[in-house]
Structure 1
Amino acid sequence: MGGLAAVPGRGRKPDPKKSKGKNINVPEFSNVTDIDPPDYMDGLEFAPMIWRSIVPELLENELLKITDMHNVEIFCMAYDNYRECQKEIALNGITLATEGGSTIKNPALTALNEAVRQMATFGSLLGLDPSSRQRLTGVGNKEQTNPFSGVLNM
């Protein structure tokens, strides 16, 4: 069994505290104050707007990590869908007339409700509401009893 050390994942992991120099595989984001919205959002009206309003705040409050960027994207797209649905409902109402003369619920209401659920879910993951912000930052807690609370400061 002399070849086990060459197998990926085997052997002792390097201790970053003992390594000399900087770990070039870990990007430094401590000085980042803003991140531009992805190019695919350029044609959208509301997603880039909400991106530009929440990302600097999240970075300033040190709530945003690179691993959270997909949550930011989903939140912004859900917000864009929410606003587009609101415009559709304002324009055509909550019910629509069918060809047969009856009325049906505007499908934009269903899409609106889904967007609201997504915004609540992903906004909570990002600390965009008071209770999740308190949970993520620990502000207001007299005593930290959560052994994983230090993960945010990594």
Structure 2
Amino acid sequence: MGGTATVAGRGRKPKPTAKKQLAGNPGKRALNKAEPEFSRITDVDPPAWLTARAAVVWRMVVPELLRENVLALTDLHNVEAFCTAYSNWRLAQDSVEAFGIVVQSSQGSPIKNPALTAANEAMRQMVTFGSMLGLDPASRTRIIGGREDNETNEFADLLSS
């Protein structure tokens, strides 16, 4: 019983070999030559089963990921999960707006609207899947994109007006 137990998923996630190479392998450690390289995609429509709201988010996010050349075929389930979580969050928020933060229980006493719990769960899912895709500022700093041009974000003009 002298060994130490480790828990999967704890600690810093390893940087993919491709990103280490793009950065010039700053750690100078041996690179993993057997790491799988999944197929990059150049365009993909939202799946038909996504809600209309989730499909709108898909159409906003996927072109950005494709432009940065950071989206592989194996990442699409994370995009689907992110877009679905966003749609669920908005549905829950709509319910909170319609019925309020406090609702009446079946016994007639005031209780927290269950939609708040659903909204919080969906927000946590958005954080998780968004981070995997580099959609938040902190995770974005860890991604080294493969694009070489300096296009501007077509949505940036909307924010400045």
Q: Match for residue 88 of structure 1?
A: 95
Task: Describe the superposition over 1:16-64 as per-residue Cα deviations: whole angstroms up to 9, x where unpaired.
Answer: xxxxxxxxxx7563xx2x31110111xx231001000000000001121
- Unaligned ranges ≥5, structure 2: 1-37, 146-161
Query: Are residues 1:128 and 2:135 paired?
Result: yes
**2: CA distance between counterparts of 1:98 and 1:76?**
31
Superposition TM-score, scaled by structure 1 size: 0.66
**Shift >6 Å, 4+ stretches:** none
**1: CA distance between counterparts of 2:96 and 2:77?**
28
Q: Which has the higher contact order (CA 8 A, sep 6+)?
A: 2
Q: Which amino acid aligns with 2:122?
A: A
**2: CA distance between counterparts of 1:78 and 1:124?**
13
- Unaligned ranges ≥5, structure 1: 1-25, 139-154
Q: Match for residue 119 of structure 1?
A: 126
Q: Which amino acid aligns with 2:124?
A: R
Q: 1:99 to 1:57 in 2, by over 3 A?
A: same
Q: Which amino acid aligns with 2:136?
A: D
**1: CA distance between counterparts of 2:82 and 2:124?**
10
Task: Using the aligned pairs only, state the percent identity.
Answer: 53
2:49 to 36, 40, 56: 40
8 Å contact from structure 2 (residues 103, 113) kept in 1: yes
Q: Match for residue 19 of structure 2?
A: none
The Cα of 1:102 is off from its aligned counterpart by 0.7
Count, aligned residues: 108
Instruction: Report which stretch shifted further, 72-81 or 44-53.
Output: 44-53
Q: 1:27 to 1:99 in 2, by over 3 A?
A: closer
**2: CA distance between counterparts of 1:128 and 1:55?**
11
Superposition TM-score, scaled by structure 2 size: 0.63
Q: Which amino acid aligns with 1:87?
A: D
2:70 to 63, 66, 75: 63
1:72 to 79, 94, 108: 79
